[in-house]
């Protein structure tokens, strides 16, 4: 018998790819989204990618427990994949109460209903940003490293929900895989699904491509005096399809665990790219110069964040497969369509 999964914010970038991967692996996906930063066109693109397999969608805000409960009454869920999140560092510094209210209350409402209906299995979309920043002479983060001292409210909400889930493992016998992301980007190879937010993008690559397609005038580069290869901040980037493969492996791993557990995995590609290097790489793919402008630093940004992905490799047999150039070409294919 196939398992039934609830996916929050499925029309968002990562959630839509999760729907495709898990549906193609014969899981039934039920999806909720409040459509605050996307639209129903993504639903049609998911159907195209799935060769018109139907998926169940409900427009629901997680702040509304009444309608969330109605969905749980209708389905016998086995698992939840929780992607619902406001996630812009700079915006969280400007609007901290918005982030505390939405990110925390969304999650608490979901966990409360899960507990009521005895749905105790969850994969949580966390972040590498929960780690305590280290001196650059000692930056290799692993799952045993110290957390907290987050530099902005967005990161603080991730840390808080991780700890709530730890408590629910002990107090309510939840089984949790806690996945700490490092900059997922790029598109599905079919060219129908990609990160294409309604608002101005908070992430680098969709921002660059909106400049490429003249939706935006120029890429804003927030300062160039960091202690990095070219003065702009450096991140590790992972293809979103590789990322979702990691979710699938995490799901199958936790299916074989029969006791409450809180398991943490880092996801890392060993692919360090600065802001300026990414702009130049996209310029090569699209065969034209991408205009940019150097601005002042934003609050909450760090120069570099690196981690050790050995645990994911050893336990889940997971490694990223998609080269940077291929991922960029897939993204350009989306915009061409």
How far is Cα 170 from Cα 206, in angstroms, rounded to an integer?
A: 40
Would you put residue 300 in left (φ > 0), alpha (ψ -120 to 50) or beta? left
Of 13, 99, 154, 251, the active-site residue reads: 154
CA distances from 239 to 82, 89, 123, 141, 303 (A): 19, 21, 19, 21, 21
DSSP string for residues in 145-164: S-B---SSHHHHHHHHHHHH
Q: Provide the edge-to-edge strand list for the sheet that holds 261-266.
A: 56-59, 28-33, 4-8, 79-82, 121-127, 175-181, 261-266
The residue among 58, 44, 53, 56 whose CA lies nearest residue 24 is 53
Known active-site residue 154: yes
Give φ, ψ of 134 to 5 degrees.
-105, 165
89 touches 132 (CB < 8 A): no
Scanning 100-239, the segments in alpha helix (DSSP H) are 105-116, 153-172, 204-212
User: Which residue spans within the chain are E strands per DSSP?
Assistant: 4-8, 28-33, 56-59, 79-82, 121-127, 140-141, 175-181, 184-185, 219-222, 234-236, 238-239, 261-266, 272-274, 292-295, 306-307
Helix-strand-coil split of the chain, %, nearest 5: 40, 20, 40
Which residues are designated catalytic? 154
């Amino acid at each position: 018998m196939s398992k039934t999964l609830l996916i929050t914010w499925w029309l968002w970038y990562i959630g839509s790819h999760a729907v495709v991967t898990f549906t193609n692996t014969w899981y039934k996906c039920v999806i909720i989204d409040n459509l605050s930063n996307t639209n129903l066109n993504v639903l049609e693109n998911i159907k195209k990618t799935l060769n018109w397999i139907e998926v169940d969608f409900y427009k629901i805000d997680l702040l509304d427990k009444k309608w969330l409960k109605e969905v749980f009454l209708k389905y016998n869920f086995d698992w939840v994949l929780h992607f619902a999140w406001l996630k812009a560092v700079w915006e969280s510094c400007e609007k901290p109460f918005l982030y505390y209210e939405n990110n925390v209350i969304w999650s608490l409402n979901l966990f409360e209903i899960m507990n009521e209906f005895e749905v105790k299995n969850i994969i949580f979309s966390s972040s590498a940003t929960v780690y305590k920043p280290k001196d650059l002479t000692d930056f290799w983060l692993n799952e045993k490293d110290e957390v907290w001292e987050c530099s902005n409210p967005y990161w603080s909400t991730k840390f808080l929900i991780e700890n709530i889930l730890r408590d629910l493992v002990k107090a309510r016998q939840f089984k949790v895989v806690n996945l700490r992301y490092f900059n997922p980007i790029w598109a599905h190879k079919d060219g129908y699904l990609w990160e294409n937010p309604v608002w101005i993008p908070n992430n680098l690559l969709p921002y660059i491509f909106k400049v490429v397609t003249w939706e935006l005038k120029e890429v804003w580069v927030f300062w160039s005096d960091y202690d990095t290869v070219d003065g702009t901040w450096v991140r590790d980037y992972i293809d979103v399809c590789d990322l979702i493969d990691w979710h699938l492996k995490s799901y199958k791993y936790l299916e074989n665990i029969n006791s409450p557990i809180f398991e943490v995995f880092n996801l890392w590609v060993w692919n360090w790219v600065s802001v300026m290097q990414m702009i130049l790489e996209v310029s090569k793919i699209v065969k034209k110069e991408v205009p940019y402008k150097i601005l002042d630093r934003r609050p909450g940004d760090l120069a570099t964040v690196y981690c050790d992905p050995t645990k994911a490799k050893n336990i889940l047999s997971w490694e990223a497969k998609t080269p940077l150039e291929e991922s960029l070409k897939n993204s350009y294919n989306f915009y061409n369509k």
